[in-house]
Amino acid sequence: MQTAPSMKELAPKDRIIVPLDVGDLGIAKELVRELAPHVGAFKIGYQLGYGAGWQAAAHLVRSHGGQLFVDGKFDDIPNTVAEGARQVARFDPQLITVHASAGVAAMRAAVAASNPTTDVLAVTVLTSIGAQECAAIFGASPEEVVVRFAVLAAQAEVAGIVCSPQELDVLAQAGSSHPQLAALARVTPGVRPSWACANDQKRVMTPAEAISKGATYLVVGRPITSPPPEIGTPSAAAIAIGKEITAALGAH
């Protein structure tokens, strides 16, 4: 397992991951073209992957010099997860995802089937799930479940986890009992600048708050791709978030 990048190793813009949550390749192309100089990576999920084709979407990002995050969220038996990861490896992604709930063997299978340059991330509790629903699904609070899944992810030797920024504090506290957690990168969706609305995210935090609590990468979607009029263009939104990250790193 690789050690998570230190707070000083990544440039502020490289900490920003933008989801290409559109179904049209033309719209995605305009976003990639505008944002590539201002963000670290682009995340391809179900909408663009199934709407335009995973290979076409990956080629689009690569052709503009962007880092690729394939968010397949594999959740199946180990052999099936391995085959999925092996197919995705053809796109040479920087990051891919597997659900921690698939188990240690499935996560290990994803790592073994991926490229050496690809980091596998374990998805813990989706940021759209609140405390009551989390208890109904997993039998515990988001904080408890995220720590539990993070320990399994460390055992599987993945590179990092995907969690809400609201679990960053409890992960840091859990490090005293589980020192192996320190090696995990923290990738946090549910990041919303103070000038953006929460949309369907339930467990959110501002970019500065998330960075100050130990987030490695921030996944920021609609605040960048559809910013409010007072912010302006997607590139202006990305630049504003980059400045917020810079200030948080300086304070840190």
Per the domain annotation, does 216 fall within a domain? yes
For residue 217, the model assigns a pLDDT of 97
Question: What does the alpha-carbon distance between residue 205 and residue 169 come to, in Å, rounded to a whole number?
Answer: 12
Question: What does the alpha-carbon distance between residue 114 and residue 90 come to, in Å, rounded to a whole number?
Answer: 9
Question: What does the alpha-carbon distance between residue 38 and residue 45 come to, in Å, rounded to a whole number?
Answer: 20
* Half-sphere exposure for 236 (CA within 13 Å, toward CB): 9
Query: Which pair of structure tokens corresponds to residue 207?
Result: 């970019």
Per the domain annotation, does 147 fall within a domain? yes
H or E element that contains 112? helix 104-113
Per the domain annotation, does 7 fall within a domain? no
Alpha carbon separation from 227 to 25, 194, 207 (Å, rounded): 20, 12, 15
H or E element that contains 111? helix 104-113
Q: Is 181 exposed, middle or buried (0-12, 13-18, 19+ CB in 10 A)?
A: buried
Query: Which pair of structure tokens corresponds to residue 66?
Result: 């962007």
For residue 109, the model assigns a pLDDT of 98
* Half-sphere exposure for 247 (CA within 13 Å, toward CB): 10
Per the domain annotation, does 50 fall within a domain? yes
Looking at the structure of the chain, the number of domains it has is 1
H or E element that contains 160? strand 160-162
Per the domain annotation, does 191 fall within a domain? yes
User: One of 8, 29, 43, 73 is an active-site residue; which one?
Assistant: 73
The one-letter code for the residue type at 39 is: V
Per the domain annotation, does 4 fall within a domain? no
Distance of CA 187 to the CA centre of its chain: 4
150: containing domain:
12-251
Query: Which pair of structure tokens corresponds to residue 86?
Result: 């092996």
Per the domain annotation, does 2 fall within a domain? no
Residue 93, C-beta contacts closer than 8 angstroms, at least 6 positions apart: 58, 68, 69, 70, 115, 118
Question: What does the alpha-carbon distance between residue 201 and residue 63 come to, in Å, rounded to a whole number?
Answer: 31
8 part of the active site: no
Which CATH number goes with the domain that contains 66?
Answer: 3.20.20.70
Query: Which pair of structure tokens corresponds to residue 242?
Result: 């980059």
Over the chain (252 residues), what is each successive 10-residue block's mean pLDDT? 55 96 95 97 96 96 94 98 97 97 98 96 94 96 97 98 95 95 94 76 80 96 94 97 94 71
